[in-house]
Amino acid sequence: MFEVLVALAIVAVAMGAALRSAALAADSAVMLRQHTLAIWVAENRLALHHALHDWPLASATGIERQAGSDFVWKETVSTTPMPMFRQIQIDVANVASPQHRLYRLVDFYLLRPSS
C-alpha cells in the first residue's frame, strides 16, 4: 500500500512538471508570434517609404493591424553627421502594452533635393 502512495506522489510531481513545461512552451509560442508580427509591421512601414519614395522629415506614430493583432508603431527621424542623410527608427509594440517594445528597425535614407 505504501508503494502505491509513493508511486502516486512521483506521478503527481511528474505531471506538475509536464504541465508547467507545456505552459511555458505555449507562452513562448505566443511571444514568438508577437515578435514576428512586430517585425513584419516595421518592415512594412520601411517598404512603404521605399516604394513611394516618401521619406518622412518628422516623427510619426500610428496603429497597424497584422494577422488579427493591433500594433502601435513610432517612426523617429533624426539627423546624421552627413547633412543629406537622415536616420529613421521604427519601434513597434503591442497596443495592449505600448511601453514594451517588441522590435526596433533602424535605416538611413538620402534626402532628395527639391526640384
Is 25 inside any structural domain? yes
Is 65 inside any structural domain? yes
> For residue 8, what is the enclosing H or E element?
helix 2-52
- The total domain count for the chain is 1
The model carries a pTM of: 0.75
Query: Residue 50 belongs to a domain with what CATH number?
Result: 3.30.1300.30
Is 59 inside any structural domain? yes
Residue 114 has pLDDT above 70, yes or no: no
Is 82 inside any structural domain? yes
Chain-wide mean pLDDT for the chain? Answer: 87
Q: How far is CA 15 from CA 7, 28, 35, 37, 50, in A?
A: 12, 20, 30, 33, 52
Residue 27 has pLDDT above 80, yes or no: no
Is 45 inside any structural domain? yes
71/98 Cα distance (integer angstroms)? 8
pLDDT at 1: 81
Residue range(s) defining the domain that contains residue 22: 2-110
Is 115 inside any structural domain? no
